[in-house]
Structure 1
Amino acid sequence: MIELRSDTFTLPTGEMLRAMGEAPLGDDVYGEDPTTNRLEQLAATTLGKEAGCFMPSGTMANLASIMAHAPRGTKVLVGDESDIYIYEAGGASVCGGIVYEPVPTQPDGRLLLTDLAKGFPDDPDDPQFALPALICLENTHNRSGGSVLPTEYLREVRRFADERDVPIHLDGARVFNAAVAAGVPVADIARYADSVQFCLSKGLSAPIGSMVVGTQAFITQVRRIRKMLGGGMRQTGVVAAAGILAIENAGRLAEDHRNAERLASGLAKIPGIDVLPAETRTNIVMFRVTDERFTWQTFAQSAARHGLAVAELGHGRLRAVTHRGVSAQDVEEAIAVVERVLADPAGPAGAEAGAGDRA
């Protein structure tokens, strides 16, 4: 099976496995795991922040960050196409008593300043309204096809937030992809946010974990909330060792981007496929099946029977993600599968009948 549903479907490298087996360990709840401490310092330094905290998942990392920034009864401005709003189970409302206010997401992942401004009441002393306590951005933006937020835009949102004395949290699950695509150090992106979450277990290819970075005082709050949410763990150095190598080898994400461009280019040449958007910048390729014989469900099912797994992102959009577990040869085979499925004159029924001929 060529796994293009997710950029987390990778196994640790041999180097990672060796590092995990040899990592010095301690009790991370007490701050005594030396390998985790090293990872947290590396993450903070790399993103230009004071401190970092290792988290079991990106969802918990975002949740703890939002709860540390926003008091109960306030609201957080989030994109209506953001992972925080759609995929994280409403955690800030359930656990933190915080209101999500969805803001229209532009095709490139931006939240317009005019739309953000609508989240601020004309009279902040009016007790009828929940007051905004945080702005959340996402970079790269998943449901916008892995788009990278422009630096000038980040600068504008920073000025906007500062004028209103509201912090910014960056859901940077794939922020290293953004940095590689933009050709800048990741700290140049992180500087515009008060806090950043990034995943070790996506394109960076570690098996487990995410990081939160910010000021020392903020991370102290995050660590307390992590414990409350059940995220305090003991000998986390076993997985933190892989995270260190993941950050140190982040430059390899450029290969994933090249493979994504190759995939997008190949899919765009196939009748019945519409690649969205036309320009692929990072490791996510979004496309729609326009062949009227197929729904997105029957196409995905037919592709899976031929050994290709893709995911659906809503509104009929399909997503394919390149990562360390996907080679250039895999990309060529994936393109061949799509061609084979759509070329079958019998449509979905024929694709099912021919499933024994797998790529």
Structure 2
Amino acid sequence: MRRLTASTISAATLAVAALWWFVPGSYPYGAAAKVTVGVNHWIERGPGVGLMVASGVLGVLAALGVRSRPRAAGVVAVVESAFFLLVMSDASVLSSIGYALIPAVLLGVAGMVAVGCVRRRPVAYVLAVLLPAGLIASLTMTDAVSRYLVNVASGFAVYGGRIAWSWAMAIAAVGWAWLAYGSFARERRVTVPRWGRAVTIAAALCPVPYALARLTWVTPWPLGGFDPRTGHITLIAAEGGDAATRMQGFLIGLSAVLAVVLTLGLISRWGEVVPRWVPRVGGRPVPVMLAVGPGAFGAVALCVSAPGVLAGAVQMGSWVDGVLFVLVFPCPVWGPLLGAAVYAYWARRRTAEKSRSAASPRP
């Protein structure tokens, strides 16, 4: 399986290198690219093709040595993973996830309000009145709603191909990381880390600055603007930004709020047992992988986006803007913190399950 994975990634890498060489217009990176949040923004087509060819050839050699020289193949897998993670991937992976979460946030809020009404919660009744009223009010702003939809559609039309390349590079990085783990991992006794709670709280705090900034976009004092003409992060004036853009910023801010809530779930009771007010499944244990899977996915996406955030910070108008950029998008620390929090949750749940199995009487 490991040989097949290494061979597949290497063959795909060489195929991409050939495509970029024979079809110059297919090269998605370099100074001419519109996306600048990545190290690949500084890599032109010639060096990019050369790097991919070298990666593909090295990967083929690793695939041939998976069985005969597993340690050497593991070292190559580490190098390959670092190459795709630090050089070829970028922060557009994270932005696409943020927009993808918007429908999930809206459906989740609607579902919670509906369940609350069924459970006769006063707060749910209030929200059931306010939310439709807000929806009706927003629908009267037909121009804002239509422009928002046009903004999202045109954004994916312009950047969709570029985002797809970023996801392909991220998948290659994860594939090589999996191969490296398989080469060096050993079975060890799982212990519950003492730092789990502190790390989880720190990870939950990481998206707070972004969430607060974006949520202000529905107020007369929106924060967190970026002027592409000057390269500076600024406070958006009260009259700045049309309604569609501000609606877009607010909705993606809700995705950051969801990230905060879900991260805190890793140390909360409801992260282990489904709340009793949830129909049918209330009171049942939360499947471990239901939390670990999305959490690990998010941690990997953040780590993949970290080099791009640092590259974007370097290109800001000043060092102050660069620091603010990293503060708003703290992927370099957020990714490792979230990964550690997910590991602590997994270790705690696994240890608890083993303890229950040992304590239960055997037939």
TM-score > 0.5 by shorter chain = no
Question: Higher strand share goes to which structure?
Answer: 1
TM-score, normalised relative to structure 1: 0.25
Question: Higher helix share goes to which structure?
Answer: 2
TM-score, normalised relative to structure 2: 0.25
Higher Rg:
2
